[in-house]
Amino acid sequence: MPVATSTDGTRIFYKDWGSGQPVVFSHGWPLTADAWDPQLKLMADNGFRAVAHDRRGGGRSDQPWSGNDLDTYADDLAAVVEALDLRDVILVGHSTGGGEVTRYLGRHGSGRVAKAVLLGAIPPLMLRTDANPEGLPIEVFDEIRTGVETDRSQFYKDLSAPFFGANRDNSTVTQGTRDEFWLWSMTVGIKGAYDCGKAFSETDLTEDLKKIDVPTLIVHGDDDQIVPIVASADKSSKLVKDATYKIYPGAPHGLALVPEFAERFNEDLLAFARG
């Protein structure tokens, strides 16, 4: 399997499809690079080099005990970019992956990066604090950790409903899509999944957003039940200097895998990449 070795020796699996300007995808929690397959094929079919990696702790990457935090996730992304010597990169991150992309740009700079896309992304901060009253209370994230620790199989099956908006009356999400979510999630080790809950909820990425100095497309569904838009994209769009902000009415968190919203996202992604 193709792997890049991170700074602590962890092996990070990646897919590398097509040729042309590289587009590097970072996936959400608790998934794997497979969640990006439709967009990987889209970009490779249209003259781009599409790359996506499995986050440490799951999929085909190593499952180390430590390093399940945004700094190390960003370093793992850097390891993939540098191992393939990618330049003029378009970084695309969904959910936790959007935090990974944001921390990468704040920590490693934009020397190899041309553009960025943040989809349903966690920045600037998901946790409710005195300074961030729009965030979610700590009890929400405690429940996530409890679900992962006690019966993560059932927890992931239940989580797939709000993730894709399957709990809405007009939902068109198929059982197959929900089954995919469960399948990918179950390849993630319990330690990585548990620790990542703290990473994606409690990491403040405000200063990283301010450091982004490349054109950035921010996309978020206004019916995102996982990462509320008021605590994330609404704020990020004001902190990133060169941001284009697109709100998808009625779209859930996992909109890139829901056909009626994925079609629009794919069009916007391709147009932004070409532009």
Active-site residues, by number, are: 95, 224, 253
Residue 36: CB atoms within 10 A of its CB come to 27
Distance separating alpha carbons of residues 75 and 38, to the nearest angstrom: 26
Beta bridge partners of 216: 116, 243
Q: Are strands 11-17 and 48-53 parallel, antiparallel or unpaired?
A: antiparallel
CA terminus-to-terminus distance, the chain: 33
Beta strands per DSSP E along 178-259? 216-221, 243-248
Largest CA distance in the chain: 47
Closest of 42, 133, 158, 144 to residue 92, by C-alpha: 42
| DSSP-derived 3-state class of residue 171 | coil
Please name the helix (run of DSSP H) or strand (run of DSSP E) that holds residue 118, with its range, or none: strand 113-119
Beta bridge partners of 11: 5
- Burial pattern 224-242, b for ≥16 Cβ within 10 A else e, equals bebbbbebbbbbbbebbee
